[in-house]
Amino acid sequence: MPASPLPSPLPDCRPLKRVTIHTDGGCQGNPGPGAWAAVLQYGRQELEIGGAVAATTNNRMELQAAIQALSVLNQACEIVFFTDSQYLRQGILSWIHGWKRNGWKTSTKEPVKNVDLWQRLDSLVSRHQIEWRWLKGHAGHPLNERCDVRANAEMAALRKTMSPAQLAAALSEFNRTNGSTPDR
């Protein structure tokens, strides 16, 4: 009996690259000026990235750190992802499934906070195999501390480029368009 033809094209059978990611995000005031940072490691290679926003929340910066870290990767990877944010970890592992089923509404039928970022993160996560690990923040874990230092440096740099009046105006606009609940 002749062998059946193989499907074409063949699936990529190469092993996924193993990447470790550490992230952190924070705010000075919640809401207030905020920043995020990430350290990505692949073998002996390492990349540190970060950014800042004039007016945001802590949770938005935790999400932004994950989004930016995953955006750097140009192919599917096997990732061990470290975060000190239970909001990020629980959200992506558990809550997001219900939100999607409910049309991006919570169990109480309220709109999901930070839905724009959750949707971006969801699309990025789908192409990777990710093990999400929580670690206690400010507990001496070297790469988590490094992310915290970088995020704080990003906030300090932002404060040097914007006057207090500009920061206040950005915060006022953020509160006007997003409400004033700090956990959004």
Q: What residues act catalytically?
A: 24-25, 62, 84, 138, 148
In terms of DSSP bridges, do strands 17-27 and 32-42 run parallel, antiparallel, or are they unpaired?
A: antiparallel
How many other C-beta atoms can be found within 10 angstroms of the C-beta atom of residue 143?
Answer: 19
**Residue 152 to residue 143: CA distance in whole angstroms:** 14
For residue 34, which of 162, 124, 138 has the smallest C-alpha distance? 162
- In DSSP terms, 91 is beta-bridged to none
